[in-house]
Amino acid sequence: MRDITLSDVERLRSEAADTDAVFEMDEETFRAFYDRTARPLWVYLSRITGSGDLADDLLQESYYRFLRADAQHQGEAHRRNSLFRIATNLARDGRRRGRRAHLVALPGGADGSAELPASVDVAGDAQRRTDLTRAMARLKPREREMLWLAYAQGLTHVDIAGALGVKAASVRLLLFRARHKLATLLGGGAPSGRGDR
Amino acid sequence: MTNIECAREQDVLDMLAARRWPGRCEAELEAHIRACAICGDLTAAAAALLDEHESAWSEARVPASGVVWWRAQVRAREEAARAAARPIAFVQGVAASCAVWVAISLLRAFPLQAGPNWRGWATGLVGKLPDFSAAAASVPGGLPFLIVVGASLVLAPVVLFIGLREALREE
């Protein structure tokens, strides 16, 4: 094995310095931010695209574009919203290019026969998930994104507006409509007339 | 006018987040949910999405942060290298165009009559070329076959050069 000379060490240091200078954000900050956001982002992408594989690709691409953007963020929420916005736009671009994702697969094997504790109502859970998957597939992409961010990830209206690029004032109404549509598709919603009070 | 808000939405969301629906919800709130269209929709939609989120969370598989960082760095450097090479290619193109333009200008400046008799030279050269008709008759494909073989001999080194240059660049 070849010994590393002093000049090699210097060269590697210099290359590392060049590498670190590629992005505005340093590695430590990125890693901390990634650890906080990667899982929610993957979950979001997998559910709005309907594909885990597509979510894998989009996750990497989203972080890359986020790093390349070198934008100035006014805090953690702003930074996270920017990331989700990039991811949402990438997912939309994918849809426009005709990458039609299949519906969300059931957990475990292709037949949905994952090993679960005996107390869990496997058939009932599978049925509920299938119902939700079908219902979500019938929603508009923006409705899906909005509902997921609001109720699965618990984002505020301001954060949803930031992540989806819509006006904060219109989130409430859009969310109301999307929620009613989903509830109706799931069979648990009120008839349209009941919303008038 | 359609009302799109209910004052108890947050109570419903808190109850769902605490996993108290449907069995352990307070009777009063449950009665409200059954009567209120807004909270009814909210419960149906949010409960389903929360369940789905739980399942999705457990199946989420994300690469390590170090891997994502490293890939991003490599890609950024590659893109930077490509971006740096773009002006060089542009300058090469401009230089080639200029060279052609200068050559044409020179040809126009010095009429053919003033220079050497290129036409006569070329005709003489063709006359000195060996006669391939006998060779063409002896091979199965005839003259077209010989032309293909000749072209291959001329083009093979060029293709080899381009291929090796690409391979070296990738390394």
Is B97 part of a structural domain of the chain? Answer: no
Choose one of B21, B37, B59: the last residue of a domain.
B59
Which residues of chain A are within 8 Å of residue B51 when distances are taken between CB atoms? 125, 128-129, 132
- Give the pLDDT of residue B110: 66
- Give the pLDDT of residue A149: 94
Instruction: Judge: B56–A43 Cβ closer than 8 Å, yes or no.
Output: yes
Residue A36 pLDDT greater than 90, yes or no: yes
Is B72 part of a structural domain of the chain? Answer: no
Q: What distance, in Å, lies between the first and last C-alpha atoms of chain A? A: 80
Per-residue pLDDT, averaged over A6-21, amounts to: 53
Is B108 part of a structural domain of the chain? Answer: no
Which residues of chain B are within 8 Å of residue A87 when distances are taken between CB atoms? none
B75: CB partners within 8 A, 6+ apart? A64
Give, in degrees to the nearest 5, the angle at Cα A179 between A92 and A133. 60
Which residues of chain A are within 8 Å of residue B37 when distances are taken between CB atoms? 190, 194-195, 197
Instruction: Judge: B60–A128 Cβ closer than 8 Å, yes or no.
Output: no
Q: Cβ of A195 under 8 Å from any chain B Cβ?
A: yes
- For chain B, the domain total comes to 2
Q: Cβ of A58 under 8 Å from any chain B Cβ?
A: no
Between these two residues, B128 and A94, which has the higher pLDDT value?
A94
Instruction: Judge: A197–B61 Cβ closer than 8 Å, yes or no.
Output: no
Is B76 part of a structural domain of the chain? Answer: no
Residue A62 pLDDT greater than 90, yes or no: yes
Q: How confident is the model at residue A14 (pLDDT cuts 50, 70, 90)?
A: low
Rounded Cα distance between B17 and B10, Å, is: 10
Q: Give me the domains of chain A, ranges plus CATH numbers.
A: 17-98 (1.10.1740), 124-197 (1.10.10.10)
Per-residue pLDDT, averaged over A105-117, amounts to: 40
Q: How confident is the model at residue B154 (pLDDT cuts 50, 70, 90)?
A: confident
Which residues of chain A are within 8 Å of residue B50 when distances are taken between CB atoms? 151-152
Is B111 part of a structural domain of the chain? Answer: no
Q: Cβ of A22 under 8 Å from any chain B Cβ?
A: yes
- Give the pLDDT of residue B46: 93
Which structure tokens are listed for B73? 């760095």
Sign of CA dihedral A177, A182, A185, A187: negative
Domain with B138, as residue range(s), is 130-171
Residue A39 pLDDT greater than 90, yes or no: yes
- Give the pLDDT of residue A55: 92
Q: Which range is least confidently modeled, A130-134, A149-153, B135-139?
A: B135-139
A68: CB partners within 8 A, 6+ apart? A23, B76
Nearest residue to B63 via CA among A63, A121, A23, A26 = A63
- Give the pLDDT of residue A85: 94
Per-residue pLDDT, averaged over A136-152, amounts to: 92
For residue B11, with 0-12 CB atoms within 10 Å meaning exposed, 13-18 middle and 19 or more buried, which class applies? middle
Write the Ramachandran bin of A8: left for phi over 0, alpha for psi from -120 to 50, otherwise beta. Answer: alpha
For A188, which residue in chain B has the nearest alpha carbon? B44
Residue A169 phi/psi, 5-degree rounding, is -65, -25
Q: Cβ of A42 under 8 Å from any chain B Cβ?
A: yes
Per-residue pLDDT, averaged over A98-124, amounts to: 47
Q: Which range is least confidently modeled, A69-73, A118-122, A129-133?
A: A118-122
- Give the pLDDT of residue A147: 95
CB-nearest to B60 from A43, A128, A152 is A43
Is B25 part of a structural domain of the chain? Answer: yes
pTM for the whole thing? 0.64
Q: How confident is the model at residue B164 (pLDDT cuts 50, 70, 90)?
A: confident
Between these two residues, A47 and B121, which has the higher pLDDT value?
A47
Is B92 part of a structural domain of the chain? Answer: no
For A174, which residue in chain B has the nearest alpha carbon? B4
Per-residue pLDDT, averaged over A64-92, amounts to: 90
Is B81 part of a structural domain of the chain? Answer: no
Instruction: Judge: B53–A34 Cβ closer than 8 Å, yes or no.
Output: no
Report long-range pairs for B159-164 (Cβ below 8 Å, ≥24 apart): none
